Amino acid sequence: MPYFYYRATNFAGETVSGIIEATDKSEAIEKLSSISLVPERVIRIPSFIYFLIKHIFSAPPYMSPRELIDFLKSVGIGIKAGIPLLELLISIQEEMTSRRAKAAVREIIQTLSAGGTFSQALKKLKFVPSIVIAFAEIGEETGNLADNLIFASQRLEFIETVKSQVKSASIYPIISFTVVMASLFVWIYFVIPKVSVFLYSLGLELPVYTLFLLNLSKKREIILYYFLGIFGGILISYFLLKFITKKFGKGHILVYLKDKIKMKIPILGKFIKEYNLFLLASFMSSLLRSGCSIERMFSILRSVIDNAVFYRAINEINERVNKGESLTEAFRNAKIFPPFFLRYMAVGEKTGTLDEQLEIVAQFYKEKLDRILSTLPKLIEPIMIALIGIITLSMIMAVFYPIYSQIGKILGKGGF
């Protein structure tokens, strides 16, 4: 289909320009008029020029998580206020400062102008999470697009808050670990080799831990190779698992084992489990409230949950439900859901208020996650301080204790 460059005036009296797809110039003018633009100039351009503009000279469409949250919230509130969708999107696009975000909204406008739906427009944008697209689709089907977009923005906001807090909590231990490793490297490579000459010259009977450090410094090159090998192995494993996840999906056995091991780690494992329980309860509640069928709900949940252990559990639950088991029984047989989760689910199934009961569960886990995230830095800080102190003190004692011991003996013999 041909492309047309246009310059037009919007409803605010401002001049805007862009490219639109249409069969001919008349259709291009009609499409511009349908989105409240008054065309001043419409010129057909060759396809290769459109390609150059879109893929080389223009910023590729993208929104950061924060921009996407604000965008969804603005669209939801605007629709609730009764503003026509196209007019609303044009207004939002003009307010955006990021070129890439503007390009993303422009693509949505073009899809809508060509007769597509809002959810279809979101599908064309690779950065939009599948859960947002699902909420948009259900909202369009049920007439609750505004509420669904606002809800999706709220859930994304909480998820981003969790990620941000986890990153903040991780900074201190990462820096501390780096400092410890750097200090160990300096001691083993530079300090101990020089001190060892002096210690051996004294002819002392050295403590076991001092001998251990001295022997360690002699083999420092071998240790460095081992360290680099381990570090390289971890990096290769990380990227290999990412490749396997992308190529074969979350159902691959290696991805499953990796996530299962992570869930066994103290503190981290508990956090991962409760985070995924929150996601499941939250999304199940909202999807059921929106009128989503059970089969479709499981399909959406599979695309949303990144943890392979929960992903496998969802598949098993879906199969059991299809065979006639109740939802509660199917979840119980998965054997990873706690009694609290199952109890509220059972009440919801019996009373026909499953969406309400799951929302209670979601709020419960949300509050638990908030508490964990608020106390996490307080838990990590003393552990890291103690670890740094123990390592530093051990190094100092191993090197200087024999020296001070010998000085003490000399002073003692001299009558002091």
State pLDDT tens for residues 30-48.
Answer: 888 877 778 888 988 887 7
Name which of 49-58, 204-213, 392-401, 402-411 the model is least confident about: 49-58
| Spatial separation of the C-alpha atoms in residues 106 and 18, rounded to whole Å | 9
Q: Which residues contact 268 (CB under 8 A, 6 or more apart)?
A: 262
Report the pLDDT value the prediction gives residue 384, as an integer from 0 to 100.
Answer: 78
Mapping DSSP to helix (H, G, I), strand (E, B) and coil, where does residue 10 land?
A: coil
Q: What percent of the chain has pLDDT over 90?
A: 30
> Angle 268-289/354-413 helices, nearest 10 degrees?
170
Q: Single out the residue of 114, 135, 252 nearest to residue 122, CA to CA.
A: 135
CB of 139 closer than 8 Å to CB of 309: no
Does residue 99 or residue 16 have the better pLDDT? 99
pTM: 0.71
Model confidence at 416: pLDDT above 50: no
| Long-range contact set of residues 159-163: C-beta below 8 Å, sequence gap at least 24 | 159/279, 160/65, 160/66, 160/69, 162/275, 162/369, 162/373
Model confidence at 257: pLDDT above 80: yes
Confidence label for 56 from pLDDT (cuts 50, 70 and 90):
low
Model confidence at 58: pLDDT above 60: no
State pLDDT tens for residues 74-112.
Answer: 999 999 999 999 889 988 988 888 888 988 998 898 888
Report the pLDDT value the prediction gives residue 331, as an integer from 0 to 100.
Answer: 96
CA dihedral 46, 36, 153, 172 (to 10 degrees): 60
Does residue 202 or residue 70 have the better pLDDT? 70
Report the pLDDT value the prediction gives residue 412, as an integer from 0 to 100.
Answer: 63
Name which of 98-102, 178-182, 342-346 the model is least confident about: 178-182
Determine the distance from the C-alpha atom of residue 106 to the mean position of all C-alpha atoms in its chain, rounded to a whole number.
26
Model confidence at 315: pLDDT above 90: yes
Residue type, 388: I
Phi, psi of 385 (to 5 degrees): -65, -45
| Long-range contact set of residues 148-154: C-beta below 8 Å, sequence gap at least 24 | 148/76, 148/286, 148/290, 149/72, 149/73, 149/75, 149/76, 149/79, 150/72, 150/73, 150/76, 150/77, 150/80, 151/286, 152/72, 153/69, 153/70, 153/72, 153/73, 153/76
Q: Which domains does the chain possess?
A: 3-153 (1.20.81.30), 158-416 (1.20.81.30)
State pLDDT tens for residues 207-233.
Answer: 777 777 777 777 777 777 877 888 888
Q: Single out the residue of 154, 134, 142, 73 nearest to residue 290, CA to CA.
A: 142
Mean pLDDT score of the chain: 84
CB of 196 closer than 8 Å to CB of 220: no
Q: Which residues contact 18 (CB under 8 A, 6 or more apart)?
A: 5, 6, 106
